[in-house]
Structure 1
Amino acid sequence: MKASLCEQLDIRGLRYNVRHWGSADAPAVFFLHGWMDTSATFQFLVDALAHDWHVIAPDWRGYGASEWLGRPYWFPDYYGDLDALLAHYSPDRPARLVGHSMGAAISSAYSGVRPDRVAQLVMMDFLGLTATAEDDAPAQLAGWLDNLRKEQPLRGYADHDAFARRLQLANPRLTGAKAAFLARHVSRTLPDGQVTMAGDPWHKVPSPVRYQAGDVMAAWRGIKAPVLMMLADKGYVAERFADAPAEIERRLACFADMRRVTITDSGHNLQHDQPEQVAAAIEAFLARD
């Protein structure tokens, strides 16, 4: 496996952990992980890259070794965090962004409102959430208020082996070796010795504000950078819009300059399931310096 190094820095008043692979003078590309995940999720993908890249992969706030709030998160803070990260690592030139799931949500909206800061964008198995109804808004706000009065417990597993088995249960495509690696690198060990996913449980509290697909699509229309849309044939996009293929096309039409690639025999975590396919598609798309 290719070795990574981590550094800690202050991002908007929080301690951020940022993982690096490759030489610092190689072409830089930012890898942005998804919900309830960490930067280490990209290890298999980095190992499959044929060329030398400087991969810069933060743990988002509340994940991995970055600082956890222990209270509700406000999604727009991720746009601010990305803006600050790019100002730190790529202040003078537009950046290459590769986002998986939530990482694609953050990077794609950001690319639309800061189009001059992004050179190329790769979106991995994300095309927005399903639409919500106005009538859902009161219950969503009430649920958020109810959660403020509760503790948000961490789910623990007896040891890393037990956590690895749970990961394989969720994704049967994971080999034993990959599950064992992830169990140790996307987890935290609790004081009692149990192992838990390295994500603040407050992330699991739904937002008090309902998802507005139209707002997200409006941001996508502002993207100037070329976009690689990478969809897994058995991923969340395929499942979420299984009965609405026209909605997939409507959302894809928001991107002015887009290339679409399907990753075969893959679930949502395509960086685990088919890292070789994903790496080949990314390197065929990204321009080197």
Structure 2
Amino acid sequence: MYPIRHPSHSLSLPLRGQNHHLRQWGRHLPGSTPLLLLHGWMDVSASWQFMVDACPQAWLDQRLVTAPDWRGFGQTRPLAPAATHPAENPQAYGSADHYQFADYLADLDALIEHLNTDLGRPAEAPIDLVGHSMGGNVAMLYAGIRPERVRRLVNVEGFGLPPSQPEQAPQRYARWLDEIRALRQGTLALKSYPSAQAVAQRLRKTNPRLAPERADWLATHWAAPDASGQWQILGDAAHKIVNPQLYRADEVLAVWASIRAPLLVLEAEADSLGQWYRQGEYTRAQFHQRLQVLPQCRIERLPEAGHMLHHDQPEALAALLQEFLA
């Protein structure tokens, strides 16, 4: 089993109709800046454990690190009588049949205000923000919407989406309605697994670079057994439903242009965009072109790593974060 070097402790925080589950490491010292780690789509806060374990104890003794489970993921559940502990019903996320991206921004805003107040800081005091994939996109938008609240910004493989055209809107809305119907009929669901070992195998199939002992450990946080003994992914199937609104790259760039925090962009040697999109649909070069609206942007590429960079190269990632956040 993977040897935990820096155990986290968990706490629950009721915000915006959700009982948010948070993992925390380290401690807050007066004058230090809290660090928030934002996980990606179909991931959980425990995913950051390997990177945190690569940090020196002396660094964690001077910095509070917090990683939330986004709504509809991990152990975050709606504040409703029907909500149960994931061990009792791993997929009891509530009655939502889709998720709005803007809710992540509002959740993050409320979380930052609460953490600052709880630490004796002004509610609007700046924090350091690190996000992976979807979490990186949330972090970038938030840093442009609330530029005074972010001191340092790190985007790990959070590229955004290809540009869209207005004429795509009718088809997109129709697809959204069709997928909501499929969810209601039970044909849009997440796969279950017979054991934690099977979940670990699934994680390694997606990411062959993930070490077996890390996969075994992560599997028990990425999924949980239901009453029948089947292991269910700790994510709401409603997350699979497409966003009804088109991705407006021009609007995103307008928000990015308002970012004031120094930005570190970390990308893997393996080209995720080249694997996800048709040739020329959206490329790494186009992402770099978008970043030109940010004068304080530094790009680092890590070798021998794929999209789950924090799993593949946690030591290199931890070293870069310590240097950049200093």
Does the pair score TM above 0.5? yes
Structure-2 residue corresponding to 1:22: 26
8 Å CA contact retained: 2:39, 2:132: yes
Q: Distance in 2 between matches of 1:127 and 1:219?
A: 15
Structure-1 residue corresponding to 2:67: 57
Q: Distance in 1 between matches of 2:271 and 2:289?
A: 19
Query: TM-score with structure 1 length normalisation?
Result: 0.94
8 Å CA contact retained: 1:15, 1:66: yes
Over residues 233-264 of structure 1, what are the superposed CA-to-partner deviations in whole Å (9 max), with x where a residue is unaligned?
A: 11424645874454133112021211111111
User: 3-state DSSP class of the match of 1:96?
Assistant: strand
Of 50, 63, 79, 2:105 maps to 79
8 Å CA contact retained: 2:33, 2:126: no
Structure-2 residue corresponding to 1:122: 154
Query: TM-score with structure 2 length normalisation?
Result: 0.84
Q: Distance in 1 between matches of 2:275 and 2:325?
A: 28
Over residues 11-34 of structure 1, what are the superposed CA-to-partner deviations in whole Å (9 max), with x where a residue is unaligned?
A: 112111011111243652100000
Q: Distance in 2 between matches of 1:139 and 1:33?
A: 30
Over residues 176-201 of structure 1, what are the superposed CA-to-partner deviations in whole Å (9 max), with x where a residue is unaligned?
A: 10110111011122222111221101
Identify which range, 132-141 or 34-43, moves more after superposition: 132-141
Structure-2 residue corresponding to 1:139: 171
Of 200, 210, 217, 1:181 maps to 217
Q: Which amino acid in 1 is paired with 2:115?
A: Y
User: 3-state DSSP class of the match of 1:90?
Assistant: helix
Is residue 167 of structure 1 aligned with residue 203 of structure 2?
yes
Q: Which amino acid in 1 is paired with 2:49?
A: Q
Q: Distance in 2 between matches of 1:148 and 1:15?
A: 24
Q: Distance in 1 between matches of 2:37 and 2:25?
A: 10
Q: Distance in 1 between matches of 2:313 and 2:236?
A: 28
Flag the 1:222–1:240 CA change in 2: closer, same or farther, 3 A: farther
Flag the 1:211–1:65 CA change in 2: closer, same or farther, 3 A: same
User: 3-state DSSP class of the match of 1:268?
Assistant: coil
Q: Alpha-carbon deviation of 1:134?
A: 2.6
Is residue 42 of structure 1 aligned with residue 60 of structure 2?
no
Q: Distance in 1 between matches of 2:41 and 2:226?
A: 20
Instruction: Map residues 178-217 of structure 1 onto 2, 5 A cutoff.
Output: 178-217=214-253
Q: Which amino acid in 1 is paired with 2:153?
A: L
Q: Distance in 2 between matches of 1:8 and 1:187?
A: 19
User: Unpaired segments of 5 or more residues in structure 1?
Assistant: none
User: Unpaired segments of 5 or more residues in structure 2?
Assistant: 78-92
8 Å CA contact retained: 1:126, 1:237: no
Q: Alpha-carbon deviation of 1:95?
A: 0.6
Identity %, equivalent residues: 39
Structure-2 residue corresponding to 1:158: 194
